[in-house]
Structure 1
Amino acid sequence: MSWTDFHQRQQALAEVLDNARRDLSAAFETVPGPFRDTDELLAALHHKWMLQLNGRVEVALTDTENAPHGDRVEAVTTAWRRTARDNPGLRAALDVHADNPALREPTAREHRLLAIAAGLAEEHEPSHDAARVGRAFVQLLRAAPDADRHARQGRLRKLIPSF
């Protein structure tokens, strides 16, 4: 991919996200030129989400390691929420297309990453098990956005039997 292609793709993504902020359903009526189809567009949007989420998770975990009573679950929770808060159009676009098969594998990788980063799963565990734990974790984040840490951890134990 050339720099021109890269910049065209970035501009197209920005336009889709601007449109999504105004009218989510209309944002995907046409696929911008640099993308072949909606699946490719959704994959690019998820990649954009993951770049931001990964960066925030890494910083949060580094900060947690340096804290006397660091809490990995809380660090990952904060990183996910900040990423979602700072990218409402992107998160909404991914959420409205969550059932699209093109997002199945990238979302499973995201869930696995979150579970491992939060310390709820181990890297050696089967990918599908870690993804299941991460999916439950994200469901909890969405269900209890303002819950305090102890209440959230109690609900997490109920969602994840092996926790």
Structure 2
Amino acid sequence: MSWADFYRRRDALDAVLELARHNPEGPLPFPVQAAAEFADQGEALLALHYRWTVRLTGRVGMAQAEAERDPGIDPVDAVAQAWRATAAEFPVLRRVLDSNADNFGGVLRQAVESEQRMLALAAGLADITEPADEITRVGAAYLALVRTAPSRDRHKVNRVEQFLRRLVHSA
């Protein structure tokens, strides 16, 4: 793919999201610009999910690094906050993906399962040696909690909890 191709595809996805901004829960818009770059709506949806994944993995990586540096930060909370922050920064993209997840022959199924595994592993809720379907199941449950549980500021942990975490970390 040349840079010109990259920019055309980027602009086509931007056009999809701009149209979706008016009704993100509605059918996936597929303007002429997108039709020129993608074979069908399913391919465009996969490209949108890739855009989401790039942004999410960057934030999750930062959260993991921060949690590794500071034993007072719970990796489960850090990864949850990273997901929520990404969803808050890109609300139309997230809502378009959610509303179209089961459309177009389930084209997003593998991508969503991969995201669930990444979240479970990053949060430390699963180990890479476990079967993929088990990691996916844990990740799906975790993501459901992330979406529904109230956000907790990961930096506002009480002093006793911080002390106990340091003891456990040093053991």
What is residue 42 of structure 2 aligned with on the other side?
39
CA contact (8 A) 1:112 1:131 kept: yes
CA contact (8 A) 1:17 1:89 kept: yes
- Greater relative contact order, per chain length (Cα 8 Å cut-off, separation 6+): 2
Please tell me the root mean square deviation across aligned C-alpha atoms, in Å: 1.9
What is residue 55 of structure 2 aligned with on the other side?
52
CA contact (8 A) 2:81 2:151 kept: no
Question: If you compute each CA radius of gyration, which structure gives the higher value, 1 or 2?
Answer: 2
Gaps of 5+ in 2: 158-171
What is residue 14 of structure 1 aligned with on the other side?
14
What is residue 88 of structure 1 aligned with on the other side?
91
User: Counterparts of 1:141-160 in structure 2 under 5 Å?
Assistant: 141-146=146-151
**TM-score normalised over the length of structure 1:** 0.85
1:143 to 1:7, Cα distance in 2 relative to 1, 3 A = same
Pairwise CA distance, 1:68: 3.1
What is residue 159 of structure 1 aligned with on the other side?
none
The amino acid that maps onto 2:117 is R
Report how many aligned residue pairs link the two structures. Answer: 150
Asked whether 1:122 is paired with 2:127, we answer yes
Gaps of 5+ in 1: 151-163
Asked whether 1:71 is paired with 2:91, we answer no
SS at match of 2:37: coil
Runs of 4+ in 1 over 4 A off after TM superposition: 147-150
What is residue 165 of structure 2 aligned with on the other side?
none
**TM-score normalised over the length of structure 2:** 0.82
What is residue 161 of structure 1 aligned with on the other side?
none
What is residue 111 of structure 1 aligned with on the other side?
116
**In structure 2, C-alpha distance between the alignment counterparts of 1:29 and 1:14, rounded to whole Å:** 11
**In structure 2, C-alpha distance between the alignment counterparts of 1:89 and 1:49, rounded to whole Å:** 11
Deviations 1:106-141 (A, max 9, x none): 000000000000011111111111011111111111
What is residue 160 of structure 1 aligned with on the other side?
none
Q: Identity over aligned residues, as a percent? A: 45
